[in-house]
């Protein structure tokens, strides 16, 4: 089974611009979560989508938004980029359920390295 | 504020030894716990999940959970140089991660 894929892998943007990152989950996985990883703060939860609905949201400003499509693919958008948004953005997918029971294991994609100049 | 604490290390062990990694969490109602391994420049890789008190073994890895003490640990038996990485403890469904423990296994 193919893993989680993220595009693009690397991105350089200028302050004030906006950016859209894409994530394709493992086939059959219905839950997609997004995380930000920085050297100072570590891995921080952004939001989770399940069946096209945002189910959980982390403590990030409204400039960070996301959505999920009917095929479970997800995008996240960051508007009005700031220097501090430079980070590795990771997408993780989870089955939601497996064989009728709750399956919460999350599998990460390779990430998108965003640099804001 | 929900927190997950790990000793940042580095934890250095010789090849063949047992490496013991520890994690404490603040949210008493947490029900799901995970260990991830992250090599430098790579994304986190799931090693173990544990949901019930006690031990769970998978190959050279054993996860231990004590909900009363709000404590999770990971034992790596017969440590290999390829195990050298940062190990991240994660708790919950909207995962709260610790900052990670760096493990170095010397040959």
Chain segment B10-26, per-residue pLDDT in tens:
999 999 999 999 999 99
Whether the predicted pLDDT of A110 surpasses 70: yes
CA separation for the pair A109, B31 (Å, rounded):
24
Task: Give CA A101 to chain center in angstroms.
Answer: 25
Residue B26 has a CB neighbour count (10 Å cut-off) of 13
CA separation for the pair B77, B24 (Å, rounded):
21
pLDDT tier at A95 (50, 70, 90 boundaries)? confident
Report, in angstroms and rounded to the nearest whole number, the Rg of chain B calculated over CA atoms.
13
Q: How confident is the model over A92-104, as a mean pLDDT?
A: 79
pLDDT tier at B9 (50, 70, 90 boundaries)? confident
Whether the predicted pLDDT of B36 surpasses 90: yes
Chain B, nearest residue to A107 by Cα:
B46
Q: How confident is the model over A1-21, as a mean pLDDT?
A: 96
pLDDT at A2: 86
pLDDT at A37: 98
Q: Is A43–B95 a contact, with Cβ atoms under 8 angstroms apart?
A: yes
Percent of chain B with pLDDT over 70: 100
pLDDT at A103: 78
Chain segment B39-53, per-residue pLDDT in tens:
999 999 999 999 999
Whether the predicted pLDDT of A107 surpasses 90: yes
The nearest CA of chain A is from the CA of B34 a distance in Å of: 8
Share of chain A residues as helix, strand and coil, in percent rounded to the nearest 5? 5, 55, 40
Take residue B99 and report the two structure tokens written for it: 């900052």
Whether the predicted pLDDT of A1 surpasses 80: no
pLDDT tier at A42 (50, 70, 90 boundaries)? very high
Whether the predicted pLDDT of A98 surpasses 70: no
CA separation for the pair B28, A114 (Å, rounded):
35
Residue A55: what are its φ and ψ, rounded to 5°?
-100, -30
pLDDT tier at A99 (50, 70, 90 boundaries)? low
Q: Is A105–B45 a contact, with Cβ atoms under 8 angstroms apart?
A: no
Residues 6+ apart with CB under 8 A from A8: A21, A112
What are the DSSP calls for B2-50, one per residue? Answer: --EE-----EEEETTSPEEEEEEES-TT---EEEEEE-TTS--EEEEEE
Residue identified by tokens 């010789």 is B14
pLDDT tier at B96 (50, 70, 90 boundaries)? very high
Residue A115: what are its φ and ψ, rounded to 5°?
-115, 125
pLDDT at B76: 98
Burial A54-70 (b: 16+ CB within 10 A, else e): eebebebeeebbbbbee
Q: Is B43–A105 a contact, with Cβ atoms under 8 angstroms apart?
A: no
CA separation for the pair B13, B22 (Å, rounded):
15
A3 chain-B contacts, CB cut-off 8 A: none
pLDDT tier at A100 (50, 70, 90 boundaries)? low
Confirm if A94 and A48 have CB atoms less than 8 A apart. no
CA separation for the pair A27, B11 (Å, rounded):
37
Q: How confident is the model over B80-104, as a mean pLDDT?
A: 96
Q: Is the dihedral of CA B1, B20, B70, A57 positive or negative?
A: positive
């Amino acid at each position: 089974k193919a893993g989680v894929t993220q595009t693009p892998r690397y991105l350089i943007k200028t302050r004030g611009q906006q950016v859209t990152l894409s994530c394709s989950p493992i086939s059959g996985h219905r839950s997609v979560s997004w995380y930000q990883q920085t050297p100072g703060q570590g891995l921080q939860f952004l939001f989770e989508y399940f069946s096209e609905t945002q189910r959980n949201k982390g403590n990030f400003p409204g400039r960070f938004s996301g959505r999920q499509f009917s095929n479970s693919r997800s995008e996240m958008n960051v508007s009005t980029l700031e220097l501090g948004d430079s980070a590795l953005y990771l997408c993780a997918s989870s089955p939601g359920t497996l064989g009728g029971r709750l399956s919460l294991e999350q599998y990460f994609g390779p990430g998108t390295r965003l640099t804001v100049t | 504020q929900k927190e997950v604490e790990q000793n940042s290390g580095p934890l250095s062990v010789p090849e063949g030894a047992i490496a013991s990694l520890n994690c404490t969490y603040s949210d008493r109602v947490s029900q799901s716990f995970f260990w991830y391994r992250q090599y430098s420049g790579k994304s986190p890789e799931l090693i173990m999940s544990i949901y019930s008190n006690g031990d769970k073994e998978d190959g050279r890895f054993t996860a231990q959970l004590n909900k009363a003490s709000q404590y999770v640990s990971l034992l790596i038996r017969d440590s290999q140089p390829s195990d050298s990485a940062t190990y991240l403890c994660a708790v919950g469904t909207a995962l709260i991660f610790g900052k990670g423990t760096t493990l170095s296994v010397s040959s």
